[in-house]
Amino acid sequence: MTKHIGIVLYPDLEELDAVGPYEVFGGLKMASGGEWQVVTIAEKAGKVRGFHGLEIGATYGFADAPQLAVILLPGGLGSPREMDNPRMLEFVRQAAATCEYITSVCSGAFILHRAGLLEGRRATTHWSAIEALRLLGDVEVLDDERYVHDGNVITSAGVSAGIDMALYLVSLLRDAQTALSVQKMMEYYPRPPQFAQARLPDGQGSV
């Protein structure tokens, strides 16, 4: 039986939040012989423009999306608007009800929270939104974690952390060897350049 991983798109999302996990799940699709499929979903099918201008195609609209085994909510500057979008929240609630795993990247956690899916759980988000998530009062927010797994909910920190979370999820959906194979195919072994004298923005210290 085919199982679907649905990545939910909306205007002004952070592109890598969606595209990074899509690449990982594409590897799962290949490794599973098509047992797992990854699909993109938006309020209406068609192109969705991310914050940096990249247009990503949504294959399905909310009305005709397949039943999902996994749902992923990316973050981005469009997420506050989607927190107040009743059509988004209703779709997320309905889809999540039958999901094996409910996931988010970055500020996508706030959409999950508004849909009622994070209450009483441990979670994380982008470093700049950690305190805002903590102030909601009903989430145990963990700092300095790339991803947090609580029950069937997995939240991840900002942008590139979504790739880590997606690889971890592949290990759960299939096995560790498949996750390692996908990681190798992607050549995903982060080793960013070092800028010894530079300082991170907003008082985050030296690199």
Q: Which two tokens stand for residue 4?
A: 């679907």
Q: Which two tokens stand for residue 32?
A: 């599973």
Contact (Cβ atoms closer than 8 angstroms) between residue 78 and residue 49: no
DSSP conformation letters of 149-184? EETTEEEE-STTHHHHHHHHHHHHHT-HHHHHHHHH
Q: Which two tokens stand for residue 167?
A: 């690889």
Q: Is 106 annotated as catalytic?
A: yes
The active-site residue, picked from 68, 71, 96, 106, is: 106
Classify 152 as helix, strand or coil.
Answer: coil
Which residue(s) pair with 141 in the sheet? 123
* Amino acid letter, 29: K
Contact (Cβ atoms closer than 8 angstroms) between residue 127 and residue 75: no
Which residue(s) pair with 105 in the sheet? 156
Indicate which residues carry an active-site annotation: 106
